[in-house]
Structure 1
Amino acid sequence: MSMPDFPPPVPQPARKDWAAHVRVRIAGFVILIAGVIGGGLIYWLADDVADATAAMQGRQYTAQLERIAGTSGVLVSQFDQWLGHLWHGKQLGITLCVLALLVAAFCFWLAGLMAVEVPQDTPTRR
């Protein structure tokens, strides 16, 4: 006579097992919707930021920067100011929407690649 298991096993609910490409596609939709809604709210609620660095970008500043750091220093400074401008005010909302679109597009592309089934009878080269 064998002893019964104690405690008795608890029945587990049936788990919905989604394929990996479906989960990646759902993640893409969530990122897209959250990014567009968040970016839209930021754009709608944010004030237009006055460009405080515009005063610094006079001829005198550019000439001094070019004398100290050269032409490459001026270009790096301009790129840095442009990149910094993307993260303030209404421009932040636009940047967030664009980033969400790019990440969601990558998720959809990746899900499309994952969904392709390779036939098993196809010989592979080694």
Structure 2
Amino acid sequence: MSMPDFPPPVPQPARKTWTAHATVRLAGVLILFAGLIGGGLIYWLADDVVDSASSAMQGRQYTAQMERIGGTSGVLVAQFNDWLGHLWHGKQLGITLGILALLIAVFCFWLAGLMAVEIPQDTPTRR
């Protein structure tokens, strides 16, 4: 005859397990909040950066020389490179970070929505 356990075992609450789509959704929420708060702080604390080298490159002589060397496509590539470089400085960095966080969070929410859809198992497959 066995002795009863003393004290009796205390029932433990069931641990909640996270599903994959809930984890992705939570990641989207965290990315959104972190990105918007970080972008807002950067925007609020940063100075407007005025790059004297880039403003000097916008002159007619520079554009004419770029067109002579690289053609019209060279001028367009230089302008695109200048625009892309401006996204990562000053207040524009805060805006860029906020937009990137929003886009990544929307992607996470979309992916979580796809993961949450259950496919019926009794559906016949086409062969």
Instruction: Give the TM-score taking structure 1 as reference length.
Output: 0.86
Q: What are the superposed Cα offsets for residues 86-105 of structure 1, whole Å, 9 maximum, x if unpaired?
A: 00000000000000000000
Q: What are the superposed Cα offsets for residues 43-93 of structure 1, whole Å, 9 maximum, x if unpaired?
A: 000000013201121000000010011110000000000000000000000
Deviates more, 1:27-36 or 1:15-24: 15-24
Cα deviation, residue 17, structure 1: 1.6
Unaligned regions of 5+ residues in structure 1, if any? 1-12
Q: Distance in 2 between matches of 1:100 and 1:58?
A: 35
Question: SS of 1:33's equivalent?
Answer: helix
Cα deviation, residue 15, structure 1: 4.6
Deviates more, 1:46-55 or 1:59-68: 46-55
- What is the percent sequence identity of the aligned residues? 80
Q: Which runs of 4+ in 1 moved over 6 A?
A: none
Unaligned regions of 5+ residues in structure 2, if any? 1-12
> What is the number of residues matched between the two proteins?
114
Cα root mean square deviation, aligned: 1.3
Which residue of structure 2 lines up, in the alignment, with residue 28 of structure 1? 28
Amino acid at match of 2:69: I
Amino acid at match of 2:107: F
Amino acid at match of 2:103: L
Q: Distance in 2 between matches of 1:14 and 1:116?
A: 25
Q: Residues 1-126 of structure 1 correspond to what in structure 2 (within 5 A)?
A: 15-52=15-52, 53-126=54-127
Q: Distance in 2 between matches of 1:74 and 1:15?
A: 61
Instruction: Give the TM-score taking structure 2 as reference length.
Output: 0.86
Question: SS of 2:57's equivalent?
Answer: helix
Amino acid at match of 1:46: A
